[in-house]
Chains A and B, each alone.
Chain A
Amino acid sequence: MAEFRMPSLGADMEEGILVEWKVKTGDHVKRGDIIAEVETQKGIIEIEVFEDGVVEQILVQPGEKVPVGTALAIIRAEGEEERPETAEAKKTTPSTEEKKAAPEKPKPQPAIKREKRIRISPLARRFAAELAIDLSKVDGTGPDGAINRADVERAAAQAKKPEKHVPEQPPEKKERAAGFHEGIRKAIAAAMARSNREIPHYYLETRIDMSRALKGLEAENRKRSVKERILPAVLLIKAVALALGDVPALNGYWIDGVHRPQEAIHIGFAISLRQGGLVTPAIHHADLKSLDELMEALRDLIIRTRAGRLRSSEMTDSTITITNLGDIGVETVYGVIYPPQVALTGFGRITEQPWVENGMIGIRPVLTATLAGDHRATDGHTGARFLDAINKHLQDWEKL
């Protein structure tokens, strides 16, 4: 028997509002399933469950605001006995909800779902992705029911309409949307103020010759379709992940006066939001992922971040943060550490610069990498080894 609790979705979160249950009593859940949505200052976050089992009891109803740590539901492990009183209660007063739930077939596995291929034109598929249309709900008018662009556009137009008319839409949702930006700003303000107040930062900077890495990447990308191409940012993520393996002291937290390096490397990648503000969701086990997997993870994360559909573990697990402002044209970025992490590494734009090597001057694509370190946890020497390790991994990019 396990309690499913209101998680802490950030260093400064004290309470959260349970917005929606994705499961009901009696549902089977698996570790990693998203079973609830919680509203925090950072927006609505999907919450994963950490045990396999059956939802035995729901303790907090949608709309309730509860402190971090409050039990939200009871999950009974598979094979564990039903609690007698619950079993009893079920028999005597089965709720209508449970009646409905009982005969329901087990939910189809996502893998099976994916196999059902939708007949759709490539253009329509592209449009649907851009407009975030659920293709399973679009009627195709093309040959053999194929979905074409016009069908998607029609579906998009219909999807817009109901929002205006449906009365059961809780009014708070609108407020939430309006307050979203403000919430994010507040969260950033709290975290950054705390960081600046508590963390004695030290800063290091190094210039990295990117010619080998970029040339290699370019050659690799030439073999790929546009969709499969790898962005330079992915090389940087992987290089940081591997460098953390070399210098583990920078990967982890400073909590209650104790430095706690972490074994798993979860890299928080700063993603700016269109409406302002930023979120730094985690790419889990970045050191173990291939470049392709990292690219896929990054793409997925950016889409979900901007759509406001992040998972709880992604909000809390980061062990270090990367901020990459290169695409905006900045050459060097000195970051502010996101507590309780102990380091933040920043990358600027890759620019062509004069570069001296072996007494010869040449023009190379050069990247400025910086490290903001928590001086309570580590010293400049550690940071210097870390930046050096990033450089080495980028020179040896084939092994990334």
Chain B
Amino acid sequence: MNTQDREITYREAVREAIREAMQKDERVFLMGEDVGRYGGCFAVSKDMLDEFGQERIRDTPLSESAFVGAGIGAALGGMLPVVEIMTVNFSLLALDQIVNNAAKYLHMSGGLFNVPVVIRMATGGGKQLAAQHSHSLEGWYAHIPGIKVLTPATIEDARGMLWTALMDPDPVLIFENNTLYNMKGHLPANPVPVDIDHAIVRRPGTDITVITYGVGLFKALDAAEKLSEDDIETEVIDLRTLRPLDDETFLASVAKTHRVLIVDEGWRSGGISAEISARIMERSFYDLDAPTERLCGVEVPMPYAGHLEQAALPQTEDIISIVKRMVKSNG
């Protein structure tokens, strides 16, 4: 345990979290494509094979359905597996295991068997990995009852969510935005597990609420900083968990600011932003002074070309201009 305040990267925070879990509990093991000898395709598990050995750091064949299924089986057998899928795009090959087995086993077994598996995967664009490696599909998983969907954005959440997820008796999916791995941040001494069922106000404000998660958080915070120079005070909410959604936190903010912009890298139609917007309409209609708006990824396959990829993703400047329009046109 580190007893000092430190600056570390998001990648190191995730690695520390896995290492600590494996040290604490021998039921914990990591498996996935290239997690062992190669050290993980995003280098999260670098050097861990040497430390924990092949039994606990397991390289798997390129067969998402098989190794996610194996993880579910291990969890049913009493282990606490951490399954790594390279990116959310490949998780579609394991969708049947996740949706039909992991999420439903407790129900199908009449409440006899929990599935305490944790499945981690990278998500998001911005690294020029093109259309088959760059999408943000976590919103799809938020549709499924029976699983939890976590989107740690900060170093502290990357470090603290894993253990709480492992201790949860049901399947938990953790989505790590691939542009965050190199992000450096401050980690307080003696890091502790954090809750996985609350959204959090990362910056208080009075004029408008921006609801976001993952990498969107930092774009929203940058935008809020610039907007405050124009005397627009933006409240920024980090959802942290997409399922279950913490309605109370964002509805309380709506009651305060009366205007909402939801920022989400995923495609707009039928996305998580739509769900949040609907909940605001259902429960906070009479608090709204302007229509709720969404800033989402453009509905195209992610372009490879860097400038086009950036154009397809929500950017800080987009947030600033939409917020200005929403606040100004509403007195």
Contact = CB atoms under 8 A, between A and B. Distances in A.
A149 B329 contact: no
A122 B289 CA distance: 6
B331 A126 contact: no
A156 to B, nearest CB: 13
Given A123-B258, A149-B258, A142 B286 contact: no
B122 to A, nearest CB: 39
Contacts of B330: 121, 141-142, 148-150
B287 A122 contact: yes
A150 B259 CA distance: 13
Interface string A146-174: 00111100000000000000000000000
Interface in B276-331: 285-290, 329-331
B331 A123 contact: no
Contacts of B285: 122
Contacts of B329: 141-143
A141 B289 contact: no
A6 to B, nearest CB: 43
B287 A149 contact: no
A361 to B, nearest CB: 37
B331 A141 contact: yes
A124 interface: yes
Chain B interface residue bracket vs A: 10 to 19
A126 B258 contact: no
Interface string A116-129: 00000111111000
Contacts of A125: 286
A122 B286 contact: yes
B282 to A, nearest CB: 10
A126 B286 contact: yes
Interface string B40-68: 00000000000000000000000000000
Given A123-B258, A149-B258, A142 B288 contact: no
Contacts of B331: 141-142, 148-151
Interface string B143-173: 0000000000000000000000000000000
Contacts of B287: 122-123
Contacts of A141: 329-331
A143 B286 CA distance: 18
A10 to B, nearest CB: 38
Contacts of A143: 329
B67 to A, nearest CB: 46
Nearest to A151: B331
A149 B288 CA distance: 9
B286 A148 contact: no
B43 to A, nearest CB: 48
Contacts of A123: 258, 286-289
A2 B323 CA distance: 64
A124 B288 CA distance: 8
Contacts of A149: 258, 289, 330-331
Nearest to A154: B331
Interface in B244-271: 258
B6 to A, nearest CB: 45
Nearest to A150: B331
A363 B331 CA distance: 54
Kindly name the residue among B289, B290, B329 whose own CB sees the greatest number of chain A CB atoms within 10 A.
B289
A253 B285 CA distance: 48
Contacts of B286: 122-123, 125-126
Contacts of A126: 286
Nearest to B281: A122
A143 B329 CA distance: 6
A141 B289 CA distance: 12
A150 B286 CA distance: 15
A143 B290 CA distance: 9
A275 to B, nearest CB: 28
14 contacts: A121-B288, A121-B289, A122-B289, A123-B289, A125-B286, A142-B330, A143-B329, A148-B290, A148-B330, A149-B258, A149-B289, A150-B330, A150-B331, A151-B331
10 closest cross-chain pairs (CB), A and B:
A150-B331, A123-B289, A121-B289, A148-B330, A149-B289, A122-B286, A122-B285, A148-B289, A126-B286, A122-B288
